[in-house]
Structure 1
Amino acid sequence: MIAARDNFPQPTPQEYFAWEEKQLHKHEYIEGEVYAMSGGSRNHSLIAVRFTTLLSNHLDGSACEVGNSDLRIKIAKSEKYTYPDVSVTCDDRDKTTTQYITYPSLIVEVLSPSTEAYDRGGKFRLYRNNPALIDYLLVSSTSIEIDLYHKKDNGEWIIINYKEGDMIELKSINLTFAIAQIYRGLTLTPENDVT
């Protein structure tokens, strides 16, 4: 999904929540500015559902919760709210809010040609402000490629690139899985062939 700036007056977060409940489409909120979210491709949707299912099954019976693209993330210490494709929180503080979570340990964004630069740059800079975030996963919808941004114990972020045949390790939720689980049966179209 991509955010496109809409021409609205600058609402407060509470006005934004009330207004968005009445809208047909989702909108991100970045410090008073409201951005409409566009839809994704078939592969985008299938990949997001596979991640949601995989993570939910893995965490069943734990204190962690898996959210889909309808769950907002509040960027810590700011008035910024985004919609990732998939998120996981294991933080009890997130059980006290109904409109969003603030302390995800894992965020998954499925990339498309129109969102990749934002997801890798500006959105990641926002997400890094969340103190509980350990793993940020960027998943291609056009080729078998996943990039993991992982925060080490010393706070340094490293990037691990995964490709066909690899096993992916998410230390944030103690899960290792084959990349093939996500891409099985999909017809992948290179970016320059997307219509």
Structure 2
Amino acid sequence: MQAAMLRPLSIKEYLDGEEHAGIRHEYVAGQTYAMAGAKLRHNLIVQNLSSSLWQKTRGGDCQVLSSDMKVRVATADVFYYPDIVLRCGDTLPGDSLYLEDPCLIIEVLSASTANIDRREKLHAYQALPSLREYVLVDSDSRSIELYRRRPEGWWYELLSEGEGDSLRFHCVDLTLSLAEVYAGVDLPQGEATA
């Protein structure tokens, strides 16, 4: 058996390949990583958040995009597929393959992605000057981690249902209860939500 050395892909090779790939891949410094499918509760959380953000921003200068739009962080040499991205400002051309200036990124955590979302992606996304909020939503319990940019640096908040917290986005003026975020989601502990 012979071992073959894999050479890093160029950004152009990656983008060209993604346009024709049957599955999505994230790009990290010349290497690609296939994206796994998501569970029903993950999709329901994404749908709840996306639809609330879309209702709030409809008719304005913001675009709510979900898991098929890449975000490029040039300084980290990465392209990621966040679960939800909110971008405000001038409209991009309809054939844009990626964004570089989101104001809000939301990732719904799963056992296979939580560590990457909390470390690698958190560090990379914080390098985006436009990003104001990075939100991690647990798909196994009613818990949300919120990272928010402030003039003095990044701040962290943990929201949980037991404390009656609400999720307030600063990028757009929108507040959601955790019950709204988790509406219809059957959590693993059997704690079904309204």
Task: Tell me, yes or no, whether TM beats 0.5.
Answer: yes
Q: Which amino acid aligns with 2:111?
A: P
Provide the identity percentage: 34
Alignment equivalent of 1:72, drawn from 70, 73, 87: 70
Gaps of 5+ in 2: 190-194
Tell me the alpha carbon deviations over residues 21-43 of structure 1, each in whole angstroms, 9 at most, x when there is no partner. 22111001112111111111111
1-structure distance, mates of 2:140, 2:104? 22
Alignment equivalent of 1:143, drawn from 141, 144, 147: 141
Partner of 2:157 in structure 1? 160
Gaps of 5+ in 1: 1-6, 191-195
Alignment equivalent of 1:13, drawn from 11, 17, 36: 11
1:59 aligns with 2:77: no
1:88 aligns with 2:73: no
Q: Which amino acid aligns with 2:67?
A: S
Partner of 2:171 in structure 1? 172
SS in structure 1 opposite 2:155? strand
Partner of 1:189 in structure 2? 188
Taking structure 1 as the reference length, the TM-score comes to 0.88
Tell me how far 1:79 sits from its aligned partner. 3.1
Tell me the alpha carbon deviations over residues 90-114 of structure 1, each in whole angstroms, 9 at most, x when there is no partner. 133x715711000100000000111
Alignment equivalent of 1:114, drawn from 112, 115, 133: 112
Asked whether the equivalents of residues 136 and 145 of structure 2 are also in contact (C-alpha less than 8 Å), the reply is: yes
1-structure distance, mates of 2:112, 2:126? 22
2-structure distance, mates of 1:76, 1:135? 19
Which protein shows a greater Rg?
2
Q: Which amino acid aligns with 1:183?
A: Y
Tell me how far 1:176 sits from its aligned partner. 1.2
| Alpha-carbon RMSD | 1.6
1:48 aligns with 2:54: no
Tell me the alpha carbon deviations over residues 145-194 of structure 1, each in whole angstroms, 9 at most, x when there is no partner. 1111011123x11111111132111112121121110112221015xxxx
2-structure distance, mates of 1:109, 1:8? 30
Asked whether the equivalents of residues 8 and 34 of structure 1 are also in contact (C-alpha less than 8 Å), the reply is: no
2-structure distance, mates of 1:175, 1:145? 18
1-structure distance, mates of 2:10, 2:45? 34
What is the number of residues matched between the two proteins? 182
Q: Which amino acid aligns with 2:185?
A: L
Asked whether the equivalents of residues 70 and 80 of structure 2 are also in contact (C-alpha less than 8 Å), the reply is: yes
For 1:100-111, what aligned pairs fall within 5 Å after superposition?
100-111=98-109
Tell me the alpha carbon deviations over residues 78-135 of structure 1, each in whole angstroms, 9 at most, x when there is no partner. 531100000001133x715711000100000000111111101111101111101011
Q: Which amino acid aligns with 2:92?
A: K
